[in-house]
Amino acid sequence: MVADLWSGEFMRMSTYDWHKNHGAVFEDFFGCEIPSHYGNVEEEYWTLRKSVGIRDVSYFGKVQITGKDRQKFLHGMISNDIKSLEPGQGRHALFLDVKGHIQGDFKIYSFPEHLLMVLQHYVRDKVVSGLDRYIISEDVKMKDVTEELAMIQIIGPRAEELLRSKGVVSIPSQFLSFETISMAGNEAHLIRLGVAYALLCGAASAPSLLENLDAKLVGWKAFDIFRVETGLPIQNLDIDESNFPQECGLDDALNFNKGCYLGQEVMARIDAQGHINRLLFGIVSNDPLQAGQKLYKGAKEIGKITSPIFSPSLQTHLALGYVRREFASEGQEIEVGDDRKPVTVKKLPISA
């Protein structure tokens, strides 16, 4: 059953006041006020690229899943192997519809007494309600704990160096694995996110941890540039309910050996046939790009732009976008927009 879910009204992250006092300029991000920047977007961007930046994502939706059937139930519903998860481990997974289209993109973390789902706040209710429809007699309960828990990302080539300097000894080594640590007198869970890390903690502890980390704060605008360059799609920006996981480069969220789940037959068929019509690629342009612009090859429409940015490191305009598979190759010259300006297709991550 579902309990205490967010009503969908305009929200503020639990650490809003702390960031306001530290110079944050906020923006509305799908119904939630989040830090947009702290005065200089380009400086924040270069911090992510060359040093270490702190990004507070406490606004992420967080759902606690309890009950003795929690792992078995989720294992049969979502796209990755949940049954084998041990405490201290996490998985990237998707909730699909029966046709294999993405309904939710999230991480699942295993704790001794519960599972924790972390996802974009604006798809939380849809995912939880969708899962709830399939709970019949299973002992499974889902509770929104977004306001109770904070999450702080530590991103950049000097991320581990910063953690070591703060006395962190036990650094998790595997993707989405986590260790319980103590920092500034507070207990937190340190999660490995590839070359980045995240601290999951009680909301009341977040200001103390932010003060203790004492590194440059990074808002959404700088991170958006960084994530487009690195090829990270986000639901409702680059992913919608028409997308298959393989189109979006989300193959790491799929397990083809786990048995049945919603959309599994479609996933197996795509895997066997190796055929999808479009792929998420990078687009490079001399001119500014706009979300929703159509891509062309001659007179033929072959895709669209989803997330455009200007790259300070490459000094050019970039975007994520979908390109029909026959044109989705490095260096392919295509056109964009009604005026058919030339652009180039690039593999992800985008580099010079």
Question: pLDDT tens digits for the chain (352 residues)?
Answer: 333 333 445 689 999 999 999 999 999 999 999 999 999 999 999 999 999 999 999 999 999 999 999 999 999 999 999 999 999 999 999 999 999 999 999 999 999 999 999 999 999 999 999 999 999 999 999 999 999 999 999 999 999 999 999 999 999 999 999 999 999 899 999 999 988 999 999 999 999 999 999 999 999 999 999 999 999 999 999 999 999 999 999 999 999 999 899 999 999 999 998 889 999 999 999 999 999 999 999 999 999 999 999 999 999 999 999 999 999 999 999 999 999 999 999 999 997 6
Residue 254 domain flag: no
For residues 54 and 70, membership in a common domain is answered with no
Distance of CA 17 to the CA centre of its chain: 24
Distance, in Å, from the CA atom of 270 to the CA atom of 109, rounded to the nearest integer, reads 28
159-208 pLDDT, tens digit each: 999 999 999 999 999 999 999 999 989 999 999 998 899 999 999 999 99
Distance, in Å, from the CA atom of 191 to the CA atom of 198, rounded to the nearest integer, reads 5
For residues 180 and 312, membership in a common domain is answered with no
How does DSSP assign 122-136, residue by residue? GGHHHHHHHHHTT-S
221-247 pLDDT, tens digit each: 999 999 999 999 999 999 999 999 999
pLDDT at 9: 56
Domain boundary among 213, 228, 243: 228
For residues 81 and 182, membership in a common domain is answered with no
Q: What is the CATH number of the domain that holds 311?
A: 2.40.30.110
Residue 247 domain flag: no
For residues 10 and 158, membership in a common domain is answered with yes
Residue 264 domain flag: no
For residues 194 and 80, membership in a common domain is answered with no
pLDDT at 195: 83
Which residue segment(s) compose the domain that 181 sits in? 2-60+147-228
pLDDT at 1: 31
Question: Is 79 exposed, middle or buried (CB count within 10 Å of its CB: 0-12, 13-18, 19+)?
Answer: buried
pLDDT at 352: 60
H/E element, 110: strand 102-111
For residues 131 and 6, membership in a common domain is answered with no
For residues 56 and 154, membership in a common domain is answered with yes
For residues 137 and 159, membership in a common domain is answered with no
Residue 270 domain flag: no
Residue 307 domain flag: yes
Q: Where are the alpha helices (DSSP H) in 15-150?
A: 16-21, 41-50, 70-75, 124-132
Domain boundary among 191, 212, 228: 228
pLDDT at 11: 85
pLDDT at 275: 81
The total number of structural domains in the chain stands at 3
CA distances from 132 to 103, 138, 161, 232, 348 (A): 14, 11, 42, 28, 36
Which residue in 316, 242, 245, 47 sits closest to 162, CA to CA?
Answer: 47
Distance, in Å, from the CA atom of 155 to the CA atom of 54, rounded to the nearest integer, reads 6
Q: What is the CATH number of the domain that holds 77?
A: 3.30.70.1400
Residue 123 domain flag: yes
For residues 91 and 200, membership in a common domain is answered with no
Residue 293 domain flag: yes
Q: What is the CATH number of the domain that holds 159?
A: 3.30.1360.120
pLDDT at 7: 40
Q: Where are the alpha helices (DSSP H) in 188-230?
A: 206-213, 220-230
For residues 182 and 315, membership in a common domain is answered with no
Q: What is the CA radius of gyration of the chain?
A: 21
For residues 27 and 75, membership in a common domain is answered with no
pLDDT at 6: 37
Domain boundary among 129, 144, 159: 144
Distance, in Å, from the CA atom of 7 to the CA atom of 11, rounded to the nearest integer, reads 10
Distance of CA 166 to the CA centre of its chain: 26
For residues 82 and 12, membership in a common domain is answered with no
- Is-cis flag, bond preceding 112, omega within 30? no
pTM of the model: 0.95
